[in-house]
Amino acid sequence: GQRLGNYQLVRMLGKGGFAQVYLGEHIHLGTQAAIKVLHTRLSDSDIEAFRMEARTIARLVHPHIVRVLEFGVEGNTPFLVMEYAAEGTIRKQHSKGTILPLETITSYVQQISEALQYAHDQKVVHRDIKPENMLLDKQHRVLLSDFGIAVAVQSSQDPMARGIAGTATYMSPEQIKGKFSPASDQYALGIVVYEWLCGERPFQGSFTELCVQHLFASPPSLHEKVSEISPAIEKIVMRALAKEPAQRFQDIHTFAVALQEAYETRES
């Protein structure tokens, strides 16, 4: 089999818009790790962006952010070695159209928002929040990953310099207009929560149709789709999905707390 640095590649774990990720086994230690390799033809700026991604995650040391173990270059191939998430992505765990129990949703949101609040406090906006980038380890703990297009909030860099990545499904109105802030991650998480609550994304269609809806359309009522969803929960999700970033919760932690409280109140 193929080898990258000290790792023997075992099998492919998944791929995204930019990269393939393999399960690797350390040739001396026998330990497992996930090895990310870009699948584009590499220009110098791709390699530099990939190194930036590695440096961003390496700097973010948090129990709910995937840990970077190493970064290396083998021949012309740069590779990122990270902690292996044995249960794969949340997307894989729950197939499309599945309604998740409120208990599971609030637990996921709690963990992801801790990771995001920490990143935001370090002035890093993830910008690519979606279930494909949320991993689960052996203990089913959530690990946020793929900081490939994450950007420092006060960066002078043009936020659109690397283009609009992938799907527009989870993209906030301000990102579509070329701006972003920590509130953009809250909006994306709001779309994810909406999808977990009712099994459907609020907006569907082509890239352009999605953009128009993010900018101008109100998300369809959750309660009308699933009658068990309480007005309190609906109100919280809709606030995270406000078109105007200033109308959303003040930060991602406040969003998570509101959801948790609405869940607990409903239980009693």
CA atoms of 61 and 147, how far apart (whole Å): 13
Q: Which does 115 bind (CB under 5 to 8 A by kind): Mg ion, ligand ADP, none?
A: none
Judged by CB under 6 A, the residue of 57, 65, 69, 85 near ligand ADP is 85
Is 169 an interacting residue with respect to ligand ADP (CB under 6 A)? no
Q: Is 146 a catalytic residue?
A: no
Is 193 an interacting residue with respect to ligand ADP (CB under 6 A)? no
8 Å CB contact between 205 and 176: no
CA atoms of 69 and 259, how far apart (whole Å): 34
CA atoms of 65 and 114, how far apart (whole Å): 9
What residue is closest to ligand ADP based on CB?
Answer: 16
Measured from the CB atom, is 18 or 203 closer to ligand ADP?
18
Q: Which does 14 bind (CB under 5 to 8 A by kind): ligand ADP, Mg ion, none?
A: ligand ADP
- 34, 219, 193, 190: which is closest to 102 by C-alpha? 193
Q: Which two tokens stand for residue 108?
A: 């996921």
- 174, 125, 172: which is closest to 153 by C-alpha? 125
Q: Annotated catalytic residue: which of 44, 46, 121, 128?
A: 128
- 258, 222, 217, 227: which is closest to 240 by C-alpha? 258
Q: Which two tokens stand for residue 216?
A: 């101008």
Measured from the CB atom, is 89 or 175 closer to ligand ADP?
89
Judged by CB under 6 A, the residue of 19, 81, 233, 241 near ligand ADP is 19
> What residues are labeled active site?
128
Residue ranges binding ligand ADP (CB under 6 A): 13-19, 21, 34, 36, 66, 82-85, 88-89, 132-133, 135, 145-146, 148
List of residues contacting Mg ion (CB under 5 A): 16, 18, 133, 146, 148
